[in-house]
Amino acid sequence: MLNDLPIRKIIHVDMDAFYASVEQMDNAELKGKAIAVGGGGKRGVISAASYEARKFGVKSAMSGRLAEKLCPELIFVRPRFDRYKDISNRIRKIFFDYTDLVEPLSLDEAYLDVTDNKIGLPSATLIAQKIRQRIYDEVGLTASAGISINKFIAKVASDYNKPNGQKTVNPEDVLQFLEDLDIRKFYGVGKVTAEKMYQKGIFTGKDLKAKSLEYLDENFGKSGRYYYYIVRGIHNSEVKPNRIRKSLAAERTFSENLSSEIFMLEKLDLIAEEVSRRLEKSKVAGKTITLKIKYSDFTLQTRSKTLSYFVSDKSIILETARELLYQEKLNNSVRLLGISLSNLNTDKDNLSKQNVEDKKSVSVQLKFDF
């Protein structure tokens, strides 16, 4: 029955330029300055950039060399992941004062389901304000938040009033919000997919909504069904406090580009050993082994093989990675190699796929106080 659909109040909390903000908080000399965490050296890649640096176009995953060209005054800071993890744990303790339904996505963001919350406050908007204020008072950092009826809309909304702001998409505003949304802002629509949508005349949620399920399935494969439902406000994924790991990986960026497969195999040996160690530590195994190759021109290629059994042993991982390396000729010299295992024995697909096929109308969720 439609009236049996659960009514949820979801908050997505996203720390503002987290790594960079921690560095600026800990070092007064860095406050107000353009800084990049990581990215040092001629091969470095940036992990995070302060808002002062972002004004120049500096962003995460950018090479340090390019960032320095964009912002000559940029200050590079060595990352301190133990410190970031400690701060993240303090922030999560604040979350748990309001709800036990907390799903961390990374060190700097999380979903909270506050439908039934520990302080008995009916307004998710007010709860988000209280959480952001406590993070600032107790930790010294700012956070942004998005509030709405499901995880997808909450995540999109959290990016609207950054930094140090929040946006609520009330139930009655959901459909209009999604119709007006630029397709590039849809979580799950990457750069390549956005370009493909542009070519097909899809620029906003309204354009996307006009396409039939059959059209989206035909043109966007498995993702087509996902797009069909989210633009209608239907995304019934629950906040999962104990998220199941979907994959496990390790990778290395090299100080010099590699052209010889023999040298690459030496590196893959070390990477396979690290992956195996992490699998053992996590007590998991996987069937699908993926080799990640980033070329010197920054183009990315992945090659995968799915075995008929679960593995965690280094020798099998390495042998499969070797097979994938020689599967076809390399396009260029290589700056990064990585190995990942997915299709894990903890994956609920060897348990249950996320259901995005629920055709129930979102209209029944449009009648409660936010």
Q: Of 148-152, 179-183, 187-191, 243-247, where does mean pLDDT reach its minimum? A: 243-247
- Catalytic member of 52, 68, 109, 218: 109
Please report which confidence band the pLDDT of residue 1 belongs to, taking 50, 70 and 90 as the band edges: very low
User: How many CB atoms sit inside 10 A of residue 81's CB?
Assistant: 12
Q: Which residues of 27-36 are buried (b: 16+ CB within 10 A; e: fewer)?
A: eeebeeebbb
**Per-residue pLDDT, 5:** 47
Summary mean pLDDT of the chain: 89
Among residues 85, 99, 173, which one has the least CA distance to residue 130? Answer: 99
State pTM to two decimals. 0.72
Among residues 111, 137, 142, which one has the least CA distance to residue 11? Answer: 111
288: which DSSP letter?
A: E
Verify whether residue 73 is a known catalytic residue.
Answer: no
Model confidence at 359: pLDDT above 50: no
Model confidence at 6: pLDDT above 70: no
Please report which confidence band the pLDDT of residue 353 belongs to, taking 50, 70 and 90 as the band edges: very low
Contact between residue 19 and residue 165 where contact means Cβ atoms under 8 Å apart = no
Residue with tokens 């960079």: 20
